[in-house]
Amino acid sequence: WSSMKLPSRPELFDFEGVSMVHYFTDNWEKVKNFQARPDDILIATYPKAGKSTAWNFTGKQPSILCNDAPERQTSQPIYMRVPFLESCFKVIASGTELADNLTTSPRLIKTHLPVQLVPKSFWEQNSRIVYVARNGKDNAVSYFHFDRMNMGEPEPGDWNTFLQKFIEGKKVFGPWYDHVSGWWEKKQTYSNLLYMFYEDLVEDTGREVERLCSFLGLSTSVEEREKITKGVQFDAMKQNKMTNYSTIPVMDFKISPFMRKGKVGDWKNHFTVAQNEQFDEVYKQKMKNTTVKFRTEI
Ligand code: A3P
């Protein structure tokens, strides 16, 4: 990364009905034809829903997945250990290349793709998938701060401009509404999918670690689970250079840190009363056909 100069912000365009930037479509043939393995674990989220938390459940703790040696957790950045499937940033290997070259088993792979764009071999191989969803209000706030500091994202404008785009679904990886409800519907027919909520993770990390372990078929001792729970606490992850993204120059941490607040309900510090009413109104419309339920406070 060190010799890289900051790129200008990319433009948003329509890709198979979803708003995208070229970083996630340039390698599309290889993404589409990606060969999943039956023991792969795919971690899927809408951007800024808390996938780092889920990663750390699975990727950081040696006790949970023995392939990830302790020294790698503090010496190798997370984007090398957990390939970002659709990414094609040119300065590092593409997500598919990194994943193809992983010798560890099972492989952990992350994606932000809406369910309809996930490469079909994941379904064919019946790979395990963990989806993490976060309530739309906090997700929007987190995404806004991320776009401010990340030159790999389109210009966010001010908070209100950003929020209007979020509501219209004009964000990278498309509308939040379709993303969370699309994956929720998939869960009804695909049993190897664990649907988790960021709010639950923050509320009771231990309980969610247990859910995840049982989904992955891992028998862990109480002590191991406690260790994992401690390791994924916000402060621990914020300190860890390999999970706080401090090695990536396209992100300007003076504007906003990657591990920003890690709270449920921070939206209250951003939404005006009018914006909140507008959000609730649109939410009712867009989410009227889904049974997925979110908590905006805990
Ligand atoms: P905030 O911007 O609200 O702080 P992602 O990992 O999908 O990029 O999502 C990032 C969001 O998850 C950020 O939210 C970040 O602080 C939060 N997050 C990451 N790790 C966390 C943890 N261990 N506990 C609580 N929140 C966490």
Q: What is the CATH number of the domain that holds 210?
A: 3.40.50.300
Domain membership flag for residue 119: yes
Does residue 147 have a pLDDT over 60? yes
Instruction: Provide the percentage of residues in the chain whose pLDDT is more than 70.
Output: 86
Span 209-224, average pLDDT: 84
Burial 158-189 (b: 16+ CB within 10 A, else e): ebeebbebbbebebbbbbbbbbbbbbbebbee
Q: Which atom of ligand 1 is nearest to the CA of 259?
A: 16
1 in a structural domain: no
- Residue 112 annotated in active site: yes
**Domain total in the chain:** 1
Judge whether 23 lies within some domain. yes
**Once rounded to an integer, what is the mean pLDDT over residues 225-248?**
72
Protein residue with least CA distance to atom 12, ligand 1 = 50
Is the separation of the CB atoms in 27 and 84 below 8 Å?
A: no
Its ipTM equals 0.95
Residue with CA nearest ligand 1 atom 11 = 50
With a Cβ cut-off of 6 Å, ligand 1 is lined by 45, 48-53, 138, 142, 145, 202, 232, 234, 237, 259-262, 266
pLDDT value of residue 237: 74
Distance CA 127, CA 44 (A): 12
186-211: per-residue pLDDT in tens? 999 999 999 999 999 889 988 988 89
Distance from the alpha carbon of residue 234 to the mean position of ligand 1, in angstroms: 8
Q: Give the per-residue pLDDT at 66.
A: 37
User: How far, in Å, CA of 208 to CA of 204, rounded?
Assistant: 7
Ligand 1 centroid to Cα of residue 50, in Å, is 5
Closest CA to 211 of 105, 60, 57: 57
- Write the residue with the smallest CA distance to atom 2 of ligand 1: 142
Average model confidence (pLDDT) across the chain? 87
For residue 3, tell me if it sits in a domain. no
For residue 100, being part of any structural domain is answered with yes
Asked if residue 133 is part of any domain, the answer here is: yes
Distance 124 CA to ligand 1 centre (A): 31
Active-site residue (options: 22, 112, 179, 270): 112
Average pLDDT over residues 276-290: 98
Assess if residue 192 is contained within a domain. yes
**Cα–ligand 1 centroid distance for 108 (angstroms):** 19
Size (the chain), residues: 298
Question: What angle, rounded to 10 degrees, do the helices at 176-189 and 136-149 form?
Answer: 120
If one residue of 60, 135, 234 were mutated to test the ligand 1 pocket, choosing by the most ligand atoms within 8 A of its CB, it would be 234
Domain interval for residue 131: 13-286
Ligand 1 center–CA 189 separation, angstroms: 29
SS (H, E, C) the chain: CCCCCCCCCCCCEEECCEEECHHHCCCHHHHHCCCCCCCCEEEEECCCCCHHHHHHHHHHCCCCCCCCCHHHHHHCCHHHHCCECCCCCCCCCCHHHHHHHCCCCCCEEEECCCHHHCCHHHHHCCCEEEEEECCHHHHHHHHHHHHHHECCCCCCCCHHHHHHHHHHCCCCCCCHHHHHHHHHHHHHHCCCEEEEEHHHHHHCHHHHHHHHHHHHCCCCCHHHHHHHHHHCCHHHHHHCCCCCCCCCCCECCCCCCCCCCCCCCHHHHCCCHHHHHHHHHHHHHHCCCCCCCCCCCC
What are the tokens at 201? 């993770």
Report how far residue 253's alpha carbon sits from residue 260's, in angstroms, rounded to the nearest whole number.
10
Torsion angle, CA of 250/254/256/258, rounded to 10 degrees?
A: 60
Q: Looking at the domain assignment, is residue 5 inside a domain?
A: no
